[in-house]
Every structure is written in C-alpha cells, then in structure tokens.
Structure 1
Amino acid sequence: MNNQNELTLIDRLSSPTSPFFKPLLWGGVIVAALSAGLITCQQSLQAYGLDLPPLATHAIEILGYVSAAIATVSKLTVNFNPKQ
C-alpha cells in the first residue's frame, strides 16, 4: 500500500491523514457546519418575514461549499509515515 496511485477511495478514507492536513480538515468541517447552521437560521428568519441581504446569503453558501471541498480533499490525503 505504498504506491499512492494504487490506493482506492476506501483505502484513502480509512488511512491516517497527513499531519499538515489535519487542521485543514477540522477547520473545513467546522466552517461548513457553521455555514449550514447560518443558512438554516436564515431560512427560519425568512418564515417570520426577516430577510438577510442576498449578498450575505450567497457568501455564506459559497463559504460552505469551499470549506466542504477543503475538508474532503484534506481527508483524502494519506500519511505514508505512520511513525509521526
């Protein structure tokens, strides 16, 4: 399992993540969760007639997509030196 080109998706997801990418992984997950919470809160406020500016809503959505992509790519990296 030392050749990264031969790893399957399941192998990558179950292997340890590189130490450099661990903060990126958790940061991406946290920001994506906050973005999802803000979108849900914004939708609840719309039910009561309170609207956020469209630019803010769009920025929150984009931030959520980008942070989810960063977390996904960070999780797919593999640490080939498990001694660290």
Structure 2
Amino acid sequence: AARARDGADLLVGVLEPAQAPVRRRVLRRWLLDAGIGDLTDGHLRSVDALVGRWRGQGGVFLPGGVEAYRSRDKLALNFRQSTTGGG
C-alpha cells in the first residue's frame, strides 16, 4: 500500500499486478483515509475497474460528492463542492 502512494494519489503500475482482493483493500484504505465513508462493495469494485479494466472510462462517483478518476498512470480524487439552491 505504501509503495502505491504518490502524495494523495495512487500509482496504477504498483496496484495493477496485485490480485483484485489486495487492490480493493488498498483502495478502501485510501478512500477511508481521504475521509470517504459509506463505501459499498460496488463502490470499491468500480474504483478497482479504473485499475484492472480501464479503457478510458470516466470517473466513479462516491459518497460525499467525491469522484475517483484515473489520469494516465495515477488514481486521484476530486472533491467536488456540493451546491445548494440560492444565488
């Protein structure tokens, strides 16, 4: 897990050769450390697909308005501001 870290991002090249259950444990810890809770197995499998089955697809939307996405050889998180009415 520590070798996969690159600041706040994860290096895909380190994760990719690992078995899927190991990757998902690393991804779960990464997401929890980033403050993302209420994760489901579906969330983890979708983020894992950005590593193991990436074909240029877009990001994965997670609880709290966070998007996990792949940019070349890294996984990163985009913390979107939630918007409420008003103006």
> How does the TM-score come out when normalised to structure 2?
0.28
Normalized per residue, the structure richer in strand is 2
Normalized per residue, the structure richer in helix is 1
- Structure number with bigger Rg: 1
> How does the TM-score come out when normalised to structure 1?
0.28
* Relative contact order, higher structure (CA 8 A, sep 6+): 1
